[in-house]
């Protein structure tokens, strides 16, 4: 077993591919100076993330922006990143708006890129609130490399442990997460959205006893809604311990470890020596994948009283007392 150096970038992203690519080039060169083997870049980092609270004409303009600026994979930008991956002998996950199906569909995607070019594509599966812009992905591939087996997720996917467990069952050593995770407000110390990301990251890494590497935006006052992105790019080890973290500033989180050795220790020495994947009882989890239990968010059943309380009270008052 050999060591590998993982890294993720905290980046201020703009709606300008040329500027974002230039910033990525600088960060990739910096990562190379630090001996990085695997680097994760943010969600939609190539084109910038959408201003989703827009409506009417502004929403149409945002959709048109993605149709103009989205690229196929492979395409010009992935080729540019591949040249850097080749130069530095590095694996790089790029988040981008992908044009597919002869230009008729746009996906919120990541491309895992190595010295030989694109290794694989992941399209965001859980993107319910992105339907005006992006089609949903349908597959959860794993990518086998000399450094280990990798799976990819994007942002909201982190909230669905079934997806990350699927990667673990498929043998993923490392899950690479590109995100554009916003804050609810403007104070990191009390922000629930940021706390949710950090907690979910640690929980998923612990439950699956594998690595999780997260790259996020860190711009402030973004777009028409004055959004502050959380930053918080981080690397979480197979015990659920955060081993590298960057709050608000731009830069890299970096950590070097024997990836497979640490996974082995987490499943044989740590937490009472329990291997959580080995101890699963999937024969009892049928309800998790039973689609009759699935409700789209807009049609969730709402518990309502059969009779309005006031009408019920009046009805009781009008009844004669029992003799």
| Tokens at 156, concatenated | 């909201």
Q: What integer pLDDT is reported at residue 55 of this predicted model?
A: 60
The H or E element containing residue 233 is: strand 233-236
- Distance, in Å, from the CA atom of 165 to the CA atom of 235, rounded to the nearest integer, reads 18
Q: Does residue 317 belong to any structural domain of this protein?
A: no
Q: Does residue 129 belong to any structural domain of this protein?
A: yes
Q: Does residue 237 belong to any structural domain of this protein?
A: yes
| Tokens at 81, concatenated | 């990143």
Q: Does residue 45 belong to any structural domain of this protein?
A: yes
* Residue 301 pLDDT grade (very low, low, confident, very high; cuts 50, 70, 90): low
Q: What integer pLDDT is reported at residue 319 of this predicted model?
A: 55
* Residue 302 pLDDT grade (very low, low, confident, very high; cuts 50, 70, 90): low
Q: Does residue 303 belong to any structural domain of this protein?
A: no
- Distance, in Å, from the CA atom of 306 to the CA atom of 3, rounded to the nearest integer, reads 63
In this prediction the pTM is: 0.89
- The label of the residue with tokens 């690595």 reads 211
Could you tell me if 99 and 91 are in contact, meaning their C-beta atoms sit under 8 angstroms apart? no
For 130-148, write each residue's pLDDT tens digit: 878 899 999 999 999 999 9
Q: Does residue 138 belong to any structural domain of this protein?
A: yes
- At residue 308, does pLDDT exceed 90? no
Q: What integer pLDDT is reported at residue 102 of this predicted model?
A: 85
Q: Does residue 77 belong to any structural domain of this protein?
A: yes
* Residue 321 pLDDT grade (very low, low, confident, very high; cuts 50, 70, 90): low
The terminus-to-terminus CA distance of the chain in angstroms comes to: 86
**Cross-strand pairs, 177:** 153, 214
Domain span at residue 154 reads 4-292
Could you tell me if 51 and 15 are in contact, meaning their C-beta atoms sit under 8 angstroms apart? no
Phi, psi of 174 (to 5 degrees): -135, 135
Number of domains in the chain: 1
Q: Does residue 307 belong to any structural domain of this protein?
A: no
Could you tell me if 119 and 112 are in contact, meaning their C-beta atoms sit under 8 angstroms apart? yes
DSSP code at position 30: H
Q: Which of 268, 290, 263 is nearest to 279 (CA)?
A: 268
The answer to which of 39-53, 173-187, 244-258 has the lowest mean pLDDT is: 39-53
Half-sphere exposure of 242 (CA within 13 A, CB side): 17
- At residue 174, does pLDDT exceed 50? yes
Look up the CATH number of the domain holding residue 60: 3.60.110.10
């Amino acid at each position: 077993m050999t060591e590998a150096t993982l890294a993720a970038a905290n980046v201020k992203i703009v709606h300008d591919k040329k500027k974002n690519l230039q910033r990525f080039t600088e960060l990739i060169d910096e990562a190379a100076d630090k001996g990085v083997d695997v680097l994760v870049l943010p969600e939609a980092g190539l084109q910038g993330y959408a201003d989703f609270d827009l409506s009417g004409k502004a929403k149409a303009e945002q959709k048109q922006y993605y149709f103009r600026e989205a690229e196929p994979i492979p395409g010009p930008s992935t080729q540019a990143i591949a040249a850097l991956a080749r130069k530095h002998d590095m694996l790089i996950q790029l988040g981008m708006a992908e044009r597919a199906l002869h230009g008729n569909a746009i996906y919120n995607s990541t491309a895992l890129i190595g010295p030989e070019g694109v290794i694989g594509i992941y399209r965001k599966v859980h993107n319910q609130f992105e339907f005006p812009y992006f089609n949903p992905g349908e597959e959860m591939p794993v990518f086998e490399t000399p450094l280990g087996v990798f799976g990819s997720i994007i942002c909201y996917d982190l909230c669905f442990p079934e997806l990350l467990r699927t990667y673990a069952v498929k043998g993923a050593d490392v899950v690479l997460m590109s995100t554009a995770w916003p804050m609810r407000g403007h104070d990191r110390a009390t922000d629930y959205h940021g706390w949710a990301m950090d907690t979910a990251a640690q929980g998923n890494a612990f439950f699956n006893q594998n690595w999780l590497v997260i790259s996020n935006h860190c711009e402030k006052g973004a777009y028409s809604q004055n959004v502050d992105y959380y930053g918080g790019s981080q690397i979480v080890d197979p015990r659920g311990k955060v081993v590298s973290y960057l709050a608000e500033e731009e830069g890299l989180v970096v950590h070097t470890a024997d990836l497979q050795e640490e996974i082995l220790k987490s499943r044989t020495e740590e937490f009472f020596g329990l291997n959580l994947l080995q101890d699963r009882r999937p024969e009892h989890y049928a309800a998790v994948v039973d689609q009759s239990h699935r409700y789209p968010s807009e049609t969730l059943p709402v518990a309502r009283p059969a009779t309005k309380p006031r009408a019920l009270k009046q009805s009781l008052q009008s009844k004669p007392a029992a003799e």
